[in-house]
Amino acid sequence: MIVIVAGGRNLVSTREISLAVEELLLKLGAEAVVSGCARGGDAIGEQAAFALGLTVLKYPAVWVIPDSNGTVDRTAGFKRNEQMAQVADALIALPGGRGTDDMVRRAIRKGMPVYRMDLEGRYWQCAPEGWDA
């Protein structure tokens, strides 16, 4: 199983979150972790994969449009989220903001299981109807 771990960029790794992410990856039978290569939640997922000896599939957002003299693509994070949703089987969603919410919506639309995790490392599977159901 290929699992995305996503969350806010300002999220700080705690022992509780790190252990809970590792536990859930093991429970899901993860073979690889998909990372958006951002600090915070993505980095926590990469650290958990490293601790468990799992492969990390990296999908960095391309913020500067190629051959554009430095024009910023404000949709780059959303495009990256779509790429990650296409290769994954499940999502672990740590606390975050608009980018995390977008990742959750894409995962739900794809029909993959979504697991929400709080700051204490408690997690639960979201209902297919939505993020807060």
The token pair at 88 is 């994954």
103 in Cβ contact with 93 (< 8 Å) = yes
Rounded distance between C-alpha atoms, residue 82 and residue 77, angstroms: 9
Q: What is the mean pLDDT of the chain?
A: 93
53-67 residue pLDDT tens: 999 999 999 888 888
CATH architecture of 2-125: 3-Layer(aba) Sandwich (3.40)
Domain boundaries, given as residue ranges, for the chain: 2-125
pLDDT at site 109: 93
pLDDT at site 129: 62
3-class secondary structure per residue, 101-130? HHHHHHHHHHCCCEEEECCCCCEEECCCCC
Region 37-53 average pLDDT:
97
30-42 residue pLDDT tens: 999 999 999 999 9
Q: Report pTM.
A: 0.92
Rounded distance between C-alpha atoms, residue 54 and residue 96, angstroms: 24
Going by their DSSP bridges, the two strands 2-6 and 32-35 should be labelled as: parallel
Edge to edge, what strands does the sheet with 114-117 contain?
55-58, 32-35, 2-6, 90-93, 114-117, 123-125
% of the chain residues with pLDDT over 90: 83
- pLDDT above 50 (res 133): no
SS3 call for 94: coil
Rounded distance between C-alpha atoms, residue 122 and residue 74, angstroms: 32
In 3-state terms, the chain is what percent helix, strand and coil (to 5)?
Answer: 40, 20, 40
